[in-house]
Structure 1
Amino acid sequence: MTKPVVFFPGTLCDERLWMQTWRKLNIQDRRYVPLQWANTLEEMLSITQHTIGKDKVHLVGFSMGGYIASLAATQWPQHIASLTLISFASEGLTDQEVKQRQSIISAIKNKRYQGMSDNRLAVFLSKPTNDSSKQGGRDQAAETMRSMESDLGPSVLRYHIEATTPRPSITHQLKKLNCPIHVISGADDALVSANALKEMKSVLKKAKFTQLANCGHMLPLENAEEISQLISELTST
């Protein structure tokens, strides 16, 4: 029997992030960590520990969920069969990213936050294209993001940011893990820097790195087909 596969969402995301991927996977024991209901880092890790239980599991984390999955893997390595990190760099947040997060929190607290602008949303996605099939996937991803943002609201965004800020580098902690590590990124990702991934590669020499063409940050929404194939390859045992 294959081991359970545990999925983690990103900031201001819920199960909808993974729906397309799940439909393409045949997983006997699929589990989801509802980080959208956690207000602190401690709560996120507590929910994670409860979801893992006493089993040995595969962890699949997207963006912020990659950070929580990484922390879980380093805290409970005896329970981890593999670690898949999607659109996440373990090098931590830059000073500029911390300031940007603090600005968002301040706007939410002062009731000045107006949600994601169209320009901000575009940063998360691949570049617009004349290819109708690819543009259709991009548009659908944008629609799902807007839907999750509307339903979860600014309070969830605030708690997610506060719980994971600051975020120091955990690359060297990941190096100590004995389980397989797979890092998946989008070629057009404007949020995960090439330098951060380069540093990860220099330290995590045994990890597998895969870059998907014509994809931005929201890989599970933009390219569920390839994401599901990559997850299936690593978690089939």
Structure 2
Amino acid sequence: MQKIYFISGTMCTVDLWQFVFPKLENMLPIHIDITPANSFDEINDLIQSHIEEPATIVGFSLGGFSAMNFAVHHPKKVKRLIIVAANTSGLSDSEIQLRKNTFDFLEKHTYKGISQTRIQQFLHPDNYHNTEIVSIIKKMDADLGKEVLIRQLKATSVRINISEEVLKLNIPILFIAAENDALVNPKKVKEFAYQTRKGKHITIKNSGHMIPLEKHKELASILNLTIN
């Protein structure tokens, strides 16, 4: 049974994968918690301290960017990347501004948890009122809390564009995007995938950004077919 390493996104815990892990075949999923990190260099150190190389790494959102960034710095330590709902160009201007506003607010006010409006930005409209998914997002946010949110916003909001470096990687990379992702443009992800040396691309329909929660059956099936 091979070890597969999973990295979650901003304000996400291992709970993100709770529907995916039980469906995996012939794999031992190992979650790498990057929430203690204060920079991408520290994230690289955390990943390196957990993996047995060469590793297969599955990264979601920030975790996907972090996985690619790690591979760029340590190409011989990565066998395969599976990137879920993430790109190489960092955050959009609107997302960066939103995070700055959030950070400024948090420094002066009590954090009362992620808002319903913010949650809906991550989801397909069909899931706006999916109480199970919404409760998981709220729980992950509450479990990590204000201190981790501030640390992650500081550490990861300024992301350099690593597109050129990723294009030089000579390892299989599977990009999984959501058709209705409001944060990561699926068309741009597809275009980028075709430029990579060994990249492939899959678009999942009727899903927002939170693919591991919204389309866990499809994601687990893709992982089983890709890795086994």
**How far did residue 20 of structure 1 move?**
0.9
**How far did residue 46 of structure 1 move?**
1.2
1:23 corresponding residue in structure 2: 22
2:42 aligned with 1:43 = yes
2:201 aligned with 1:203 = no
Greater shift in the superposed pair: 144-153 or 22-31:
22-31
2:76 corresponding residue in structure 1: 78
Read off the aligned partner of 1:162 and give its amino acid letter: K
Give distance in 2, aligned partners of 1:153 and 1:98: 20
**Structure 1 length-normalised TM:** 0.88
Give distance in 1, aligned partners of 2:189 and 2:143: 32
Question: In the alignment, is the contact (CA less than 8 A) between 1:32 and 1:51 conserved in 2?
Answer: no
Give distance in 1, aligned partners of 2:82 and 2:68: 9
2:65 aligned with 1:67 = yes
**Structure 2 length-normalised TM:** 0.91
Read off the aligned partner of 2:152 and give its amino acid letter: H
Give distance in 1, aligned partners of 2:61 and 2:107: 24
Change beyond 3 A, Cα 1:121–1:8? same
Change beyond 3 A, Cα 1:207–1:81? same
Question: In the alignment, is the contact (CA less than 8 A) between 1:91 and 1:200 conserved in 2?
Answer: no
Q: Which whole-Å deviations, capped at 9, do the CAs of 1:13-67 have from their partners, x for residues lacking one?
A: 11100111001012443321111233333322111000114x2111100000001
Select which of 210, 213, 217 maps to 2:205. Answer: 213
Select which of 147, 151, 156 maps to 2:143. Answer: 151
Greater relative contact order structure (CA < 8 Å, 6+ sep): 1
Q: Which whole-Å deviations, capped at 9, do the CAs of 1:79-118 have from their partners, x for residues lacking one?
A: 2111011010112223322222111111111125443221
Q: Which whole-Å deviations, capped at 9, do the CAs of 1:191-223 have from their partners, x for residues lacking one?
A: 112454255245336411111111110000111
Question: Could you tell me the percent identity over the aligned residues?
Answer: 29
Change beyond 3 A, Cα 1:78–1:3? farther
Give distance in 2, aligned partners of 1:224 and 1:177: 28
**How far did residue 3 of structure 1 move?**
4.2
1:97 corresponding residue in structure 2: 95
Give distance in 1, aligned partners of 2:167 and 2:141: 34
Question: In the alignment, is the contact (CA less than 8 A) between 1:5 and 1:27 conserved in 2?
Answer: no
Structure 2, unmatched stretches of 5+, are: none
Structure 1, unmatched stretches of 5+, are: 130-134
**How far did residue 121 of structure 1 move?**
0.8
1:32 corresponding residue in structure 2: 31
1:132 corresponding residue in structure 2: none
Q: 3-state SS of the aligned residue for 1:4?
A: strand
Greater shift in the superposed pair: 186-195 or 66-75:
186-195
Greater shift in the superposed pair: 59-68 or 18-27:
18-27
Give distance in 2, aligned partners of 1:189 and 1:146: 19
Select which of 107, 110, 114 maps to 2:108. Answer: 110
1:8 corresponding residue in structure 2: 7
